[in-house]
């Protein structure tokens, strides 16, 4: 029951990966839509779980602001990651860390592989043109999408 809201978020996570790959930007409407889904699904969760998730999201947001200021993360990455933490059950945080780590490796491998292909110089996919950058939205989205499966396999 705790993972149902995350399943409802999955289509938005696909948009996160797409926009970050194509534009190296995550539109604000995706984060706002994620917040709306969380608010609508709050009645499915116990009060203590809602408080725990809000606290986790706030901690991620505050730490993310510091990472953004040091130019380690983009602003859209921080916003969507904070929203995603509203959907991660507090009892599965260690499993989320496992899935996020695997997603980071997969995202890096994907981007490095795609960048070896000789794309036209004017490709509209910004993440394939720019070097020295990484569209973190790919890994954030993948980590949220696979989380229910990671919980099923290892939980």
Q: Which two tokens stand for residue 120?
A: 């036209």
Which position has the token pair 């790919």? 138
Look at residue 79 and tell me whether its pLDDT is greater than 80. yes
DSSP string, 94-135: HHHHHHHHHHHHHHHHHHHHHHTS---TT-S-HHHH-SS---
Please say whether the beta carbons of 106 and 142 come within 8 A: yes
pLDDT digit string (tens) for 16-72? Answer: 999 999 999 999 999 999 999 999 999 999 999 999 999 999 999 999 999 999 999
pLDDT digit string (tens) for 93-131? Answer: 999 999 999 999 999 999 999 999 988 878 889 999 888
Determine how many CB atoms are found less than 10 A away from the CB of residue 111. Answer: 18
Q: What is the pLDDT of residue 100?
A: 98
Q: What is the pLDDT of residue 131?
A: 83
Q: Which two tokens stand for residue 92?
A: 């599965």
Q: What is the pLDDT of residue 119?
A: 84
Q: What is the pLDDT of residue 130?
A: 82
| Contacts of residue 145, Cβ cutoff 8 Å, sequence gap at least 6 | 10, 13, 14
Determine how many CB atoms are found less than 10 A away from the CB of residue 112. Answer: 10
Q: Is 34 left (phi over 0), alpha (psi -120 to 50) or beta?
A: alpha
| Contacts of residue 115, Cβ cutoff 8 Å, sequence gap at least 6 | 128, 131
Look at residue 1 and tell me whether its pLDDT is greater than 80. no
pLDDT digit string (tens) for 123-142? Answer: 889 999 888 899 999 999 99
């Amino acid at each position: 029951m705790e993972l149902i809201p995350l399943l409802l978020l999955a289509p938005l996570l696909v948009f996160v990966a797409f926009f970050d790959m194509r534009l190296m930007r995550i539109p604000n409407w995706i984060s706002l839509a994620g917040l709306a889904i969380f608010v609508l699904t709050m009645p499915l969760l116990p009060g203590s779980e809602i408080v725990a998730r809000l606290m986790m999201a706030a901690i991620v947001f505050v730490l993310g602001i510091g990472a953004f200021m040091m130019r380690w993360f983009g602003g859209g990455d921080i916003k969507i990651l904070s929203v995603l933490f509203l959907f991660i059950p507090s009892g599965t945080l260690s499993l989320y860390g496992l899935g996020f780590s695997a997603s980071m490796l997969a995202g890096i491998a994907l981007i490095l592989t795609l960048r070896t292909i000789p794309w036209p110089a004017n490709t509209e996919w910004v993440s394939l043109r720019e070097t020295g950058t990484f569209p973190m939205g790919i890994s954030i989205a993948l980590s949220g999408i696979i989380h229910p499966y990671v919980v099923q396999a290892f939980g």
